[in-house]
């Protein structure tokens, strides 16, 4: 934790992300790689945000014809 600056609360999420994104093969591997300083905290945070973002489709407003014309 001191090598990366990741707090204990976020450590589980970071390890999970590393395993799901195939950057680590197991929990122990993720912890070893974090401890070795192989990852930058800011880059990991940005990568996690991007990974979990879901782009919402843009809504299209369609005006319906009410049948009445002036």
Per-residue pLDDT, 19: 94
Let me know if residue 57 belongs to a domain: no
Question: What is the number of domains present in the chain?
Answer: 1
Domain assignment of residue 29, given as a range: 8-52
Q: Is residue 34 part of a domain?
A: yes
- Asked whether residue 30 is assigned to any structural domain, the reply reads yes
Q: What is the pLDDT of residues 30-46, one digit of tens each?
A: 999 999 989 888 888 88
- Whether residue 59 is contained in a domain is answered as no
Answer whether residue 68 is part of any domain: no
Asked if the structure places residue 16 within a domain, the reply is: yes
CB contact burial 14-34 (16+ within 10 A = b; e otherwise): bbebbeeeeebeeeeebbebb
Is residue 58 a part of any domain in this protein? no
Residue 35 lies in a domain: yes
- Residue 65 pLDDT: 64
């Amino acid at each position: 934790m001191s090598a990366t600056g990741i707090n204990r609360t976020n450590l589980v999420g970071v390890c999970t992300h590393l395993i799901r994104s195939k950057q680590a093969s197991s929990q122990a591997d993720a912890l070893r790689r974090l401890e070795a300083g192989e990852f930058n905290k800011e880059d990991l945070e940005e990568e996690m945000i991007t990974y979990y973002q879901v782009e919402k489709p843009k809504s299209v407003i369609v005006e319906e014809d009410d049948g009445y014309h002036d």
